[in-house]
Amino acid sequence: MSEEQAAEADDAEREEPTADPDAELVERVAGADPEETAREIAALRDRVADLESALDAERDEVAELEDKLKRKQADFQNFKKRRQKKAEEERRRATEDLVERLLDVRDNLVRALDQDEDVDIRDGVETTLRGFEEVLAEEGVEAIEPESGTELDPVRHEVLMRVESDAEAGTVADLHRPGYEMAGKVLRPAQVTVADD
């Protein structure tokens, strides 16, 4: 027996067989030339080494792809946080702009109240109200002020009570408090009374 065959025999003894050997294979090995069998085993070892090397390369590639995926996920999370922070800043700036414009309205009201008690401040208050309404209009805020006889809209109108009225039954009788909407969204429904049946 050659040294190579002895080494193979030692390896075979150390390795636990995974399954019973195929009878045909045992017969083939028993009748084969030992050198040819050794060459076949060496070729198989080379093939196993190549497969193990290929498997290691695949594992490295998988690890690299997993690492890239984790980095992309982290980048995406950071991007989402930056977008959210930027959106919050934009909302704050929009609110700041509105508040700055409302400060003028407040200042005008304070000036009106600082007048002497016997001074008629109605003109100043009306001017201040017009300024306030201009600020609301610039923000796209529209009043909801249904007239008597207007068909009732449960989204835009809040019914306070049913009353006797000349208006058609089930329609708006009177406006109690105006409502407001902005960009198609009702901020506050108008409070109305409804004509009774």
pLDDT at 110: 85
> For residue 121, is pLDDT > 70?
yes
Q: Burial level of 37, CB count in 10 A (0-12/13-18/19+)?
A: middle
User: What is the extent of the structural domain holding 30?
Assistant: 3-9+22-81
Indicate the DSSP class of residue 183.
T
Among residues 55, 81, 107, which one ends one of the domains?
Answer: 81
User: What CATH number should be reported for the domain holding residue 197?
Assistant: 2.30.22.10
What pLDDT band is residue 173 in, cutting at 50, 70 and 90? very high
What's the pTM value of the predicted model, to 2 decimals? 0.52
User: Which tens digit of pLDDT belongs to each residue from 82-106?
Assistant: 999 999 988 888 788 888 888 888 8
pLDDT at 32: 80
Q: Give the whole-angstrom CA distance, residue 139 versus residue 101.
A: 11
What domain count does the chain have?
2
Quickly count helices (H) and strands (E) in the chain: 4, 6
Q: Give the whole-angstrom CA distance, residue 94 versus residue 96.
A: 5
Q: Give the whole-angstrom CA distance, residue 111 versus residue 127.
A: 12
Is 127 among the domain residues? Answer: no
User: Which tens digit of pLDDT belongs to each residue from 17-70?
Assistant: 556 777 877 777 777 888 888 888 899 999 999 999 999 999 999 999 999 999
pLDDT at 7: 57
Mean pLDDT, the chain, rounded, equals: 86
